[in-house]
Amino acid sequence: MRITAHITTTASIAALIGCLGFMPGIASADEGADIAKGKELAFNRKKGNCLACHQIEGGSLAGNIGPPLIAMKARFPDYDKLRAQIYDARINNPNTIMIPFGPHAVMSDKEIDLVTKFIYTL
């Protein structure tokens, strides 16, 4: 779902926030905590371990197998597409080296949500 310029009323923005489940920029305290948890999961070697392959701001000893994760909103205007990529990268590239985090239960749905929230802030 894309956020387009002509959505102006607060009501419709509120509706959007509801359906995206997340809106950076006007993040509540809860959102802030979620993003912090997401970062922890993304950096944890037993969970996302995204740094094995991607450069991410704030992480050290990153690999270079995948593209640096920067400007995510520009590359993924659609939050759901970003989540789908993290959930199962094989949808976009069947032979990808990237781990199918969702289907192989490397992270739970909830954990993938948190990681996606964090990645979306980059």
Partner 1 sequence: MKKIATALSVMLVAATPFAAQATPDDDLKALRSYFLEKFPNVPENDYVNGVYAIDENSREQWEAFEEFPSYEIAIDHGETKFHKKFANGKSYVDCFPNYKKGIKQNYPYFDTDSGQVVTLESAINKCRTDNGEKKLKWKKGEITEIGAYLAYLSRGHKINVKVPNDAGAIAAYNRGKKFFWAKRGQLNMACADCHYYYAGGKIRANILSPAYGQVSGFPVYRNKWAGMGTLHRRYGGCNKQVRAKPFKAQSDVYKALEYYHTYMSNGLEVNGPSQRM
Report CA-CA distances (Å) from 2 to 7, 10, 16, 63. 11, 17, 10, 31
Nearest CB to partner 1, comparing residues 63 and 77: 63
On whether the CB atoms of residues 96 and 90 are closer than 8 A, the answer is yes
CB atoms within 10 A of CB 119: 24
Nearest CB to ligand HEC, comparing residues 31 and 82: 82
Q: CA-CA distance, 9 to 1, in Å (whole number)?
A: 17
Contacts to partner 1 from residues 13-72, by CB under 8 A: 51-53, 61-65
Give the x/- contact pattern for ligand HEC in 16-55, rule: CB under 6 A.
--------------------------x-----xxx-xxx-
14: which DSSP letter? Answer: H
The span of 6-14, 19-27, 29-37, 62-70 binding ligand HEC (CB under 6 A) equals 62-70
Give the x/- contact pattern for partner 1 in 85-114, rule: CB under 8 A.
---------xx-x-xx---xxx--------
Among 41, 55, 60, CA closest to 106: 41
Q: Which residues would be at the binding site for partner 1 (CB under 8 A)?
A: 51-53, 61-65, 94-95, 97, 99-100, 104-106
